Amino acid sequence: MCEDLSAFQPNLDFYMNKSPSEPDGDLIENILNNWKGDYKKLESNCAYIQWLFPNKSQGKNPASYPLNEMEAEIIRQTPELKDRFKRAFKMMLDYFGMELDETRKCFTLASNSDERLKRINTWGNEAFLYISRILLALKECGFEGLMFPWMKFLAQLIYEDKTLDQAEESFEGFWVETLNDADRVEIQAIVADYQQ
């Protein structure tokens, strides 16, 4: 007897608040309502990141699942699920010490930026992997328009302000590659200007 794989939608079930992230996770609404600002929890339990920001790669958590196209399409088209994605993004921006001004689609430093940037600006930490995953999820879940302004802001922090300079390798080796061709060329030009 063949198993019906069309009903298997773990990422969608998580986003619909029907099932918790695994392992040791929670329902998405509980995460969004209770985990924001709990930096110890966000640092110590990294299994949730693959659930909050699903993309087509497996990631490090063997209890998570790659995002399939049907799930991505439903997230892109469902206002409630898009809102959850945006809230998850804002929660992680807070974790990084950043904020999104939605009206202008620009990024700024949050009031906690000194502490948070100092904490994450260490070579090889999980935060850079989180950013990699989030960039891919932005693209696949219908928020590609936020990628370029966020990358422009990250470039400023890395190359001009030097408050996130340990992320340079991740920025050049992976983050830039998530952009479409035109945005990639523009970001590379911005970085070249900073490096002169």
Within its chain, how far is the Cα of 179 from the centroid?
A: 14
- Point out which residues pair with 101 in neighbouring strands: 106
Query: What pLDDT score was predicted for residue 45?
Result: 81
100-113: b (≥16 Cβ within 10 Å) or e: beeeeeebebbebb
| Both structure tokens of 83 | 């809102």
- Residue carrying structure tokens 């900073």: 194
- Residue carrying structure tokens 């300079």: 165
pLDDT in tens, the chain (196 residues): 344 445 689 999 999 999 999 987 899 999 999 999 999 999 888 889 999 999 998 888 888 999 999 999 999 999 999 999 999 999 999 999 999 998 878 999 999 999 999 999 998 788 999 999 999 999 999 999 999 999 999 999 999 999 999 999 999 999 999 999 999 999 999 999 998 8
| Both structure tokens of 187 | 């970001």
Query: What pLDDT score was predicted for residue 61?
Result: 87
Q: Which segments of 105-160 does DSSP mark as H helices, in order?
A: 113-120, 126-140, 147-155
Contact between 157 and 194 (Cβ < 8 Å): no
**pTM score, two decimals?**
0.93
Query: What pLDDT score was predicted for residue 7?
Result: 67
d(CA 85, CA 32): 10
Query: What pLDDT score was predicted for residue 4?
Result: 44
Computed over its alpha carbons, how large is the radius of gyration of the chain? 17
